[in-house]
Amino acid sequence: MLVFKFGGASVKDADGIINLASVVNKYIGEELLIVVSAMGKTTNALEKLTKAYVDQADDMHHIFEEIKKYHFDILHQLFENGHPVFDDVANAFVEIDWAIEDEPHDSHDFIYDQIVSIGELVSTRIVSAYLNKAGVKSQWLDVRGYIHTDNTYREGTVQWDKTRESINKDLPGMLAKSIVVTQGFLGGTSENFTTTLGREGSDYTASIFAACLGAESVTTWKDVPGILNADPKFFSDTVKFDELSYTEAIEMTYYGASVIHPKTIKPLQNAKIPLLVKSFTDPAAPGTIIKEDGINKFEKPVIILKQNQVLLSISAKDYSFVSEDHLSDIFGLFAKSQVKVNVMQTSALSFSVCFDFYEERFEKLLSDLKQDFKVKYNSGLTLITIRHYGDNSLKELTMGKTALLEQISRNTAQVVVR
């Protein structure tokens, strides 16, 4: 059987959903599970709605109405009035109506997951309904009953044994009868609350299902021709990799390559399942294949940019050396605040660390650190990572910028710049 994942860009409008159906139609006769992300920039919009609700902002209902209008406009282009999918989508949005009816009392991360998750629940309702309309028999599946996680909201940890048991109990029979359409990015707790698996986590969802079902392959359909050495939004002279090894792909995702979620590769590597990255606008093109014996050829260095970074410098209040005990305490606070380190550096008197800026987590971390340490920070920075770098590439990328932290190893150079 095959697992396909379609990201938000591939289903951003009615034409995208029609194109998805044409791609899927080429695989009629295969056992096929389709994982779908929220449509277009819906996750960003729902994040904005979540913040507006937590802040009780005046524009909260206006933001929500815009999200609903975007989806219903697409529905009207794909279906005639009276089609059951209109009620399915309306009922999904009712969950947000209920969530924002009262003032917020739960934690921000819990609220985030209950609201933001609606994007995938709606997109998959629309995709599944359109596939059936187009003559491609499909069944909608609520992933929250199959991918089981702990209660770590916004970063749910998969409970693999329970997940594998649930998937293998129902999915083989369902896939034998029709294509199955389900949500990326989401999981469920034992108390039936929704969790998310981390931003851009739909790739990870696809790999979880593939590993549990022993899939032949996973294909993630993107708006690029495959995995490139750099983001084409920022670089015009990119080159595509025909293939990569699991190891190189893991390194690239660890450093922030956004084309694949960092957790995606390991379950596939363990099960020896290849991952294909292909273009949804040119489905016949070969794309990139990631596999155990993938050959890594680097015509140009791999360049990864992570923006909106914070560089934090931590030192002891009594100007003593930064000891192992200090580092243990510091990492405990990072884990408590769910802040992931992108690069770090230690000197005699300070510990510097760079990470993605998320306001709520950052404020919590800062407050906790200030109880025992002196803290200074710079925000609004960019982390440049260059795999298989050369001296020229390092100079070109940092030219005209102020380097605040630099770390260079045999294969990888990282520079935090302003």
- CATH of region 2-222: 3.40.1160.10
Paired sense of beta strands 403-408 and 351-356, if any:
unpaired
Q: Where in the chain is the domain with CATH 3.30.2130.10?
A: 302-417
Per-residue model confidence (pLDDT) at position 394: 87
Per-residue model confidence (pLDDT) at position 392: 85
Per-residue model confidence (pLDDT) at position 321: 87
The CATH architecture of the domain made up of 302-417 is 2-Layer Sandwich (3.30)
CA separation for the pair 39, 185 (Å, rounded): 13
389: left (phi over 0), alpha (psi -120 to 50) or beta: beta
Q: Encoding tokens for residue 174?
A: 């369902």
Give SS3 for 391: helix
Per-residue model confidence (pLDDT) at position 20: 98
**237 DSSP 8-state letter:** S
Residues in the chain with pLDDT < 50? none
371-399 pLDDT, tens digit each:
999 999 999 999 999 999 987 888 899 99
In sign, the C-alpha dihedral spanning 285, 287, 290, 295 is positive
Per-residue model confidence (pLDDT) at position 290: 96
Taking Cα atoms as reference points, which of 208, 266, 252, 258 lies closest to residue 231? 258
Paired sense of beta strands 194-196 and 186-188, if any:
antiparallel
Contact 89, 172 (CB under 8 A): no
pTM of the model: 0.91
Q: Where in the chain is the domain with CATH 3.40.1160.10?
A: 2-222
Per-residue model confidence (pLDDT) at position 107: 93
Per-residue model confidence (pLDDT) at position 259: 75
Per-residue model confidence (pLDDT) at position 299: 87
Per-residue model confidence (pLDDT) at position 341: 95
Per-residue model confidence (pLDDT) at position 312: 97
